[in-house]
């Protein structure tokens, strides 16, 4: 299996000469007529961003997440460090480095934004030396955001105390993270954000806006339970949707301890299918929502005592780069 470090673009440089490597890279781009920053403000950064590619990351996945971060950085210029752990230890304490840069034009030629990446490849034995190298690559006066992608075990990720304790946000994806990722005693648990919740922003908005048209008493009166069903590809999204609904219904006055919550798979089913149903004691109370996240179509069916309503709507999941910004800043 190709090493994730080798799957990423860039020019390898000595680990103690990353800054010089970046300068030489841009100088080479300019000399070859390729886009390069013409002024320091073209590389003005807003945040420090560390993408940690865990041991479960494949080479293809690494390249995909690199592109996600690159798209994110076009809107939020970042100083980006990508951590690439190695499965084998050809030289136990060796850390390899690679640099990459790219410029993007905005609405005008004067609106040029250039981003820089530093990739660091390291073995388990070299991990104690990693924090110093990462700190050199980051800007001390910018907030730090840390995305841990496909890590193999929460307890092993907990070794990275420098990143976990300093980061303003720690981003994980509970759809692919270890089962205990959301309950693990992280140094600052309030800073942990789940990308599944962020991806669901359009779903939460469309359901929330529809229900906001009704009085809270109409929603929670005689409410017995909530069922969220899904096809086989969306178990994490269904789990997170159910937890969100129970929180919001409790805020409307429902007794959260008495409302049952069920996540149910209707696999095989159509791919991208997610549905919500409220269970009421009264048969004349109805709320159902079904979304097809593959086609982008959704349908509400509701009756809270004023007559049956059927309403078609659009729905989707946030794009990965947009989900990053949602998790980081909101």
| pLDDT, tens digit, 9 for 90 and up, residues 272-296 | 999 999 999 999 999 999 999 999 9
pLDDT at 1 over 60: no
Which two tokens mark 175?
Answer: 């759809």
What is the predicted pLDDT for the residue at 177? 97
Average pLDDT over residues 91-102: 88
Q: Is the pLDDT of residue 319 over 90?
A: yes
Percent of all residues in the chain with a pLDDT value above 90, rounded to a whole number: 77
8 Å CB contact between 237 and 201: no
134 has pLDDT over 50: yes
Q: Which residues of 52-83 are buried (b: 16+ CB within 10 A; e: fewer)?
A: bbbeebebebbeebbebbbebbeebbbbbbbb
Rounded-to-integer distance, Cα 199 and Cα 327, Å: 9
Averaged pLDDT score across all residues of the chain:
92
Mean pLDDT, to the nearest integer, of 13-24? Answer: 94
Task: Looking at mean pLDDT, say which of 100-104, 196-200, 230-234 comes out highest.
Answer: 196-200
pLDDT of 88:
79
- Give the total residue count for the chain: 330
User: Environment class of residue 283 by beta-carbon count within 10 Å: exposed (0-12), middle (13-18) or buried (19+)?
Assistant: exposed
User: 113 falls in which pLDDT band (50, 70, 90)?
Assistant: confident
| Per-residue pLDDT, 34 | 79
By percentage, how much of the chain surpasses pLDDT 70? Answer: 95
In the structure encoding, which two tokens stand for residue 60, read together?
Answer: 């293809």
Structural domains in the chain? 4-195 (no CATH), 201-314 (3.30.1330)
Q: Which residue has the tokens 């919500």?
A: 276
């Amino acid at each position: 299996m190709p090493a994730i470090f080798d799957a990423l673009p860039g020019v390898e440089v000595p680990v103690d000469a990353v800054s010089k490597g970046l300068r030489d890279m841009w100088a080479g781009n300019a000399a070859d007529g390729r886009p390069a920053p013409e002024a320091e403000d073209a590389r003005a950064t807003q945040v420090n961003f560390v993408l940690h590619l865990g041991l479960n990351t494949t080479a293809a996945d690494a390249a995909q997440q690199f592109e996600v971060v690159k798209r994110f950085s076009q809107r939020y210029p970042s100083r980006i460090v990508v951590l690439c752990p190695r499965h084998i230890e050809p030289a136990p304490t060796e850390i390899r480095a690679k640099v990459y840069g790219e410029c993007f034009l905005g609405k005008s030629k004067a609106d040029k934004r250039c981003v820089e990446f530093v990739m660091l490849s390291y073995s388990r034995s070299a991990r104690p030396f990693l924090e110093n190298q990462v700190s050199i690559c980051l800007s001390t006066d910018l907030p730090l955001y840390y995305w841990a992608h496909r890590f193999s075990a929460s307890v092993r990720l907990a070794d990275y105390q420098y990143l976990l304790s300093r980061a303003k946000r720690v981003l994980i994806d509970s759809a692919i993270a270890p089962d205990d990722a959301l309950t693990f005693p992280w140094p600052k648990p309030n800073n942990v954000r789940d990308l599944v919740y962020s991806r669901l922003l359009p779903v939460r908005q469309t359901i929330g806006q529809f229900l906001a048209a009704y009085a809270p008493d109409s929603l929670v009166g005689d409410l017995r339970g909530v069922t969220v069903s899904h096809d086989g590809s969306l178990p994490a999204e269904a789990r997170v949707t159910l937890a969100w609904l129970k929180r919001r219904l409790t805020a409307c006055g429902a007794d959260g301890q008495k409302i049952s919550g069920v996540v149910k798979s209707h696999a095989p089913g159509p791919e991208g299918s997610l549905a919500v149903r409220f269970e009421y004691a009264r048969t004349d109370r109805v709320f159902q929502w079904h979304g097809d996240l593959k086609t982008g179509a959704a349908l509400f069916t509701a009756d809270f005592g004023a007559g049956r309503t059927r309403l078609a709507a659009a729905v989707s999941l946030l794009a990965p780069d947009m989900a990053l910004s949602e998790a980081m800043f909101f």
